[in-house]
Amino acid sequence: MSEDLREAVIEALKGQDGIAALLLAKKLGRQLMEVLRILEELSAQGIVEKRGKTYRLKAINLEVSKGTR
């Protein structure tokens, strides 16, 4: 997983109530599949929550995601 893209996705999700993967990819200027892969990995780690087609950070994991590096 690209650490730069991972950090960019987490930063883009901060303060968002939920954002679609396509909009997030356009915001970051990256390919949709690349962003989806990162979002799914973050979801599997419990950092991001998927609701339908939108993703958002889990509030309890904001501090944990910063401390894993």
Encode pLDDT of 15-45 as tens digits. Answer: 888 999 999 999 999 999 999 999 999 999 9
Buried/exposed code over 1-10 (b: 16+ C-beta within 10 A; e: otherwise): eeeeebebbb
Name the strand (E) or helix (H) holding 48: strand 48-51
Structural domain range at position 21:
3-63
Which pLDDT belongs to residue 4?
Answer: 93
What total of structural domains would you count in the chain? Answer: 1
Is 42 a domain residue? yes
Taking the C-alpha atoms of residue 28 and residue 12, their distance in angstroms, rounded to an integer, is: 8
CATH of residue 58's domain is 1.10.10.10
Mind listing the pLDDT tens digit for each residue in 37-58?
A: 999 999 999 999 999 999 999 8
Question: Which pTM was predicted?
Answer: 0.80
Rounded (10°) CA dihedral 41, 46, 47, 52: 80
The single-letter DSSP state of residue 34 is: H
Q: Are 9 and 28 in contact (CB under 8 A)?
A: yes
